Amino acid sequence: MNRIAWMVFRSLPFVPIWFYKICRYGSTKDRHTEQERYDFLRSIVKKVNRSGRVTVEIHGCSNIPDENGFILFPNHQGLFDVLAIIDGCPKPFGVVIKKEAADIILVKQVVRLLGGISIDRENIRESLQVIKTVTEEVKKKRNFLIFPEGTRSKNGNKILDFKGGTFKSAVNARCPIVPVALVNSFKPFDISSIKKETVQVHFLEPIPYEQYMGMKTTEIAHLVHDKIQGKIDEFI
């Protein structure tokens, strides 16, 4: 059985109320704080992951900055990535997601709850506006998650090149960059099985603005890429 179908089946009694609350929490009229909304979503994610027989091992939580206003840059292995990071990260974050995915039911509502942003990667003007918006939000001490590969790797734990442009918001906001290494995050949904799986999330040491100041975004991309691939290689 497909794991997504298994997760839905196991959670079926709770899905209607969860969906209702996710929609309500994502409403512009909602009065909960960002942390409260995130904590609610995170509690659901943890339950769903357990019901799907996926163990998420978290490493390096102490590397998550105490002060908000940072950007997480993880490698991208598949649909389970965001679930794994939410499971492990206690601090709320918005996510930048491709427009095609943002139109999927439930994904759309979750992105809205997180205060995320959808992007049309083929529209240069829109991409520039997203960079500007993320920059402004991070300066206001919000956190974001951006996948620097731009698309998921189809080679398991071998990551793709990182795109320099994905780091422009960090440079403009002068914020800490937090590399995140995902190990075996492709397995829960790519393998047609419901056998137990373990996914690792490694929050690496943040890179302060002072360390990458003056570097080209392509150089920052190489730096973060190599840190993440190096960490992944330790476990495969």
SS3 letters across the chain:
CCHHHHHHHHHCCCHHHHHHHHHHHCCCCCCCCHHHHHHHHHHHHHHHHHHCCEEEEEECHHHCCCCCCCEEEECCCCCCHHHHHHHHCCCCCEEEEEHHHHCCCCHHHHHHHHCCEEECCCCHHHHHHHHHHHHHHHHCCCCEECCCCCCCCCCCCCCCCCCHHHHHHHHHHCCCEEEEEEECCCHHHHCCCCCCEEEEEEECCCECHHHHCCCCHHHHHHHHHHHHHHHHHCCC
pLDDT digits (tens, 9 = 90+) for 149-158: 988 998 999 9
Give the pTM: 0.95
Local confidence band at 99 (pLDDT 50, 70, 90 cut-offs): confident
pLDDT confidence of residue 28: 86
- Which position has the higher pLDDT, 170 or 123? 170
Local confidence band at 1 (pLDDT 50, 70, 90 cut-offs): low
pLDDT confidence of residue 102: 80
pLDDT digits (tens, 9 = 90+) for 172-193: 999 999 999 999 999 999 988 9
Over residues 20-36, mean pLDDT: 94
The answer, yes or no, to whether residue 24 has pLDDT greater than 90, is yes
Domains delineated in the chain: 3-233 (3.40.1130.10)
Cα pseudo-dihedral 23, 25, 29, 33, rounded to 10: -160
pLDDT confidence of residue 78: 92
pLDDT confidence of residue 141: 98
Q: Chain-wide mean pLDDT for the chain?
A: 95
pLDDT confidence of residue 114: 96
pLDDT digits (tens, 9 = 90+) for 212-222: 999 999 999 99
pLDDT confidence of residue 59: 98
In this structure, the number of other CB atoms found within 10 A of the CB of residue 145 comes to 22
The answer, yes or no, to whether residue 121 has pLDDT greater than 80, is no
Over residues 20-44, mean pLDDT: 95
Over residues 115-132, mean pLDDT: 90
Q: Considering only CA atoms, which of 153, 203, 143, 145 is closest in space to residue 179?
A: 203
Over residues 111-128, mean pLDDT: 90
The CA–CA distances, whole Å, from 4 to 9, 187, 233 equal 9, 12, 28
The answer, yes or no, to whether residue 71 has pLDDT greater than 70, is yes
